[in-house]
Structure 1
Amino acid sequence: MASHKLDSLDRKILEMVAEDARVPFLEVARACDVSGAAIHQRIAKLRAMGVLKGSQFIIDPEAIGYETCAYIGLYLKDPESFDDVVEKLRNIPEVTECHYTTGGFDMFIKIYARNNHHLLNIIHDRLQPLGLSRSETIVSFNAVIDRQLPIPEAELEEEEGEEE
């Protein structure tokens, strides 16, 4: 994927909206010492470039009854069935992420379950019928780091561009 050139205003905007997606554009404009219209234009540009991918409220799974978070490595009987399996995974609401990976797994997913019994039911009743040869489950006790990536500094971008 292409890296996008970001200037200091872009970086400041990204830092502010990454910290709080609901920050008013006028507050961002004041902090950046530009007009509100300039912030609207920059946000639109960052969205069009694919740097910003919307905004959303984050629901705490535990607060709504999903006490178990698990990561599951999937081994497919037929690795050519990736696309079919992904479409079927989209229909399992407890699956919140799916990644194609290197290494032993064909896919790696993140799921939330109400408890361990619910997790077992999801694996047995909903994942196994997808054509798995086997799976490996890792239960997460707690996410101790959960953050956005830092916005790269201009010097770093220039150094990387010179090496190409």
Structure 2
Amino acid sequence: MDTLNRLDDFDVRILKILERDGRIAFSAIATELEVSNTMVHQRVTRLLDQGLLLGVRPVLNEKALGYDWGAFTGITLEKDGDSQRVIEELKKIPEVTECYFITGNYTLYIKLVAKNHEHMRQVLYEKIDTIPGIAKTDSIIELGCAFKRNIIL
């Protein structure tokens, strides 16, 4: 079944409110939508159980936390069969914030953050490039995020 077919008007309205403020109380959502707290709780629980809502968590401002440098790095593996093991090693590196399977010249594409250029060099050369199975990395330094959002319902 198509994901959007599983969402009714109340689900979409709840998701839009949570997108606006993930910390909002269910009672405030219920008041805004003129429904019961129980209905909001049940709907959010169902959206979580169905995997349509992956959670509600804070979005950290990396720059405000001192991570002024960011990079997107393509990773070429010696063998594509090593991908799961390499991913597990990448998960151990706190500066790696995202990891994607992609098509094209690379097997994996990661987003990483660092406090300065020396920290970036250390992450790339001393943490990532030393993972067994990685043949090559190719990084592009990011200069700032123009925007980032969820899909618009």
What's the TM-score once normalised by structure 2's chain length? 0.93
- Give me the whole-angstrom Cα distance separating, in 2, the residues matched to 1:2 and 1:128: 41
Equivalent residue, structure 2, for 1:3: 3
1:6-25 alignment to 2 at 5 Å? 6-25=7-26
Q: Is the 8 A contact 2:86 2:134 kept in 1?
A: no
What is the number of residues matched between the two proteins? 151
- Give me the whole-angstrom Cα distance separating, in 1, the residues matched to 2:96 and 2:23: 27
Equivalent residue, structure 2, for 1:148: 150
- Give me the whole-angstrom Cα distance separating, in 2, the residues matched to 1:81 and 1:146: 31
Equivalent residue, structure 2, for 1:128: 129
Q: Shift in Å at residue 36 of structure 1? A: 1.1
2:139 counterpart (129, 137, 151): 137
Runs of at least 5 residues in structure 1 that lack an aligned partner in the other structure: 152-164
Amino acid corresponding to residue 23 of structure 1 in structure 2: I
Equivalent residue, structure 2, for 1:49: 50
- Give me the whole-angstrom Cα distance separating, in 1, the residues matched to 2:25 and 2:80: 47
Q: From the two aligned structures, give the one with the greater helix fraction.
A: 1
Range with greater deviation from structure 2 (92-101 or 51-60)? 51-60
Q: Percent identity?
A: 30
Partner SS, residue 102 of structure 1? coil
Q: Shift in Å at residue 2 of structure 1? A: 5.6
Q: Shift in Å at residue 132 of structure 1? A: 2.2
Amino acid corresponding to residue 136 of structure 2 in structure 1: R
CA deviation vs aligned residue, 1:83-132 (integer Å, no higher than 9, x gap): 11011111111001111111111100000011111111111111111232
